[in-house]
Structure 1
């Protein structure tokens, strides 16, 4: 028996107002004949973003004609393809997606003020592009997502100023980029995910500080990466997997030490 899904009708494409898409009065009839637009797949009149984007990707020269379209998705996608000289007027567009597209492309001098945009999408774009003091200032943004982008782009020497960020996701990113000589300061973070991020980068000898960590995931990393100073203290860990891993690694290190001593002249 054939599956009912095999015969399910494909939904008719609709425009941004929910009306059926029609090619009858479309100004791009010539493109359709050339295969550069295709109703239901590559169409600027469709409400689906992917189909609109395919249209502008194949016909970038048409983008400027749609910069004032009432559907914001069309304006945003057109702004990604149109001439820089034409998209400047969209810097104050009421839709954040459009402003974000403009912020991504215009020279920084023209969009620097968007670092204070009310929408985080726009500020996230600015955090990707700004440098120097302007970027460092974004570490104090009220939205964690913006700060997360900022800590991924600021120089590593600036990261200690973000170690006390209120959001653990931001602090995790700080721990992943922090210079090794400063990283031990994050071993006592209140969030275990931050301590895990730090433990994964510490030198084996430094992990002894975490043998008594309350989170078994942190102790597992110590058992997996720690040196002979840490492993004996984990052999009787309350978690059986942690203790088993510590004993296994300690035994392996002992065997290696014996072999090296035996082979020594």
Structure 2
């Protein structure tokens, strides 16, 4: 009878470990504390190792120097935090990724220049805000994006010219509106459009002659007084139309027309 695919997924095909080579043969195995093929610290199976250490977390410290990277990584999940330090420089990134989630905050700076991006992303996600700027120059855009999401708004200035568009998009959506002029000449149209949507109305003149009509359109939606009159003569018909419609609907002009 054929085995259904859903059942096959639950079958652990890892070869059974040799219980004769296990230090727990006469203790845990004899007492049902482990089970070959299911709950086993010697198996080359992450699921079996995890089941073993979940049942016996006090034994995790025995495996921080194990030759099998996955055994070390799983042991790191169960170790008391005060025993994690020897693993900060583990050669395998999977182990260090576990540490990035678990170590005390005052240890995190020791991982901020880790060679693995995922480690640094976790560090950027956990670091106290007062230390985040130390990662603003990270070579990977995803790490800088996490920094941009968490930095206090008043400290985003150093990222306004970031080379990555996604990082600058986060910045332009968070930076105080009075500082948006710093991004008025961004090379990306979508960034400048957000600038036009958020910046102080009195600063909109910075974008009134933007080379992209969609940016000028955003300006026309919010502009007032002389700037709106200027945009009424814009070479793009959609920009000039919205500017003229807004001029016609201004209270002062309606009063003048009634007279």
Query: Is the TM value for this pair above 0.5?
Result: yes
What are the equivalent positions in structure 2 for 1:87-98 lying under 5 Å apart?
Answer: 87-98=84-95
Structure 2 equivalent of residue 5 of structure 1: none
Q: Is the 8 A contact 2:111 2:123 kept in 1?
A: yes
Q: In structure 2, the residue corresponding to 1:44 is in which secondary structure?
A: helix
Higher Rg: 2
Structure 1 equivalent of residue 9 of structure 2: 13
Q: In structure 1, the residue corresponding to 2:178 is in which secondary structure?
A: coil
Partner Cα distance (1:60, 1:225) in 2:
60
Partner Cα distance (1:14, 1:122) in 2:
30
What is the TM-score when the length of structure 1 is the normalising length? 0.65
Structure 1 equivalent of residue 102 of structure 2: 105
Indicate whether 1:242 and 2:239 are aligned: yes
Indicate whether 1:26 and 2:38 are aligned: yes
Q: In structure 1, the residue corresponding to 2:226 is in which secondary structure?
A: coil
Taking a change above 3 Å as real, the CA distance of residues 198 and 108 of structure 1, as seen in their structure-2 partners, is same
What is the TM-score when the length of structure 2 is the normalising length? 0.66
Uncovered stretches (5+) of structure 1, i.e. residues with no partner: 1-7, 29-42, 46-51
Aligned residue pair count: 228
Taking a change above 3 Å as real, the CA distance of residues 27 and 227 of structure 1, as seen in their structure-2 partners, is same
Q: Is the 8 A contact 2:148 2:167 kept in 1?
A: yes
Structure 2 equivalent of residue 254 of structure 1: 250
Structure 1 equivalent of residue 174 of structure 2: 177
> Which string of whole-angstrom CA distances, capped at 9 and with x for unpartnered residues, describes residues 187-217 of structure 1?
1222223322322221223223212211233
> Which string of whole-angstrom CA distances, capped at 9 and with x for unpartnered residues, describes residues 126-184 of structure 1?
22233477422211222222222223333333322333322232233232232333221
Indicate whether 1:154 and 2:151 are aligned: yes
Taking a change above 3 Å as real, the CA distance of residues 206 and 61 of structure 1, as seen in their structure-2 partners, is farther
Out of 114, 136, 156, the residue aligned to residue 139 of structure 1 is 136
Q: CA deviation at 1:114?
A: 0.5
Q: Is the 8 A contact 1:103 1:126 kept in 2?
A: yes
Indicate whether 1:232 and 2:235 are aligned: no
Q: Is the 8 A contact 1:211 1:234 kept in 2?
A: yes
Q: CA deviation at 1:25?
A: 3.6
Uncovered stretches (5+) of structure 2, i.e. residues with no partner: 17-34, 41-45
Q: CA deviation at 1:78?
A: 7.1
Indicate whether 1:188 and 2:185 are aligned: yes
Partner Cα distance (1:196, 1:66) in 2:
54
> Which string of whole-angstrom CA distances, capped at 9 and with x for unpartnered residues, describes residues 87-141 of structure 1?
5454334443442331122112333210110112111222223347742221122
Taking a change above 3 Å as real, the CA distance of residues 77 and 202 of structure 1, as seen in their structure-2 partners, is farther
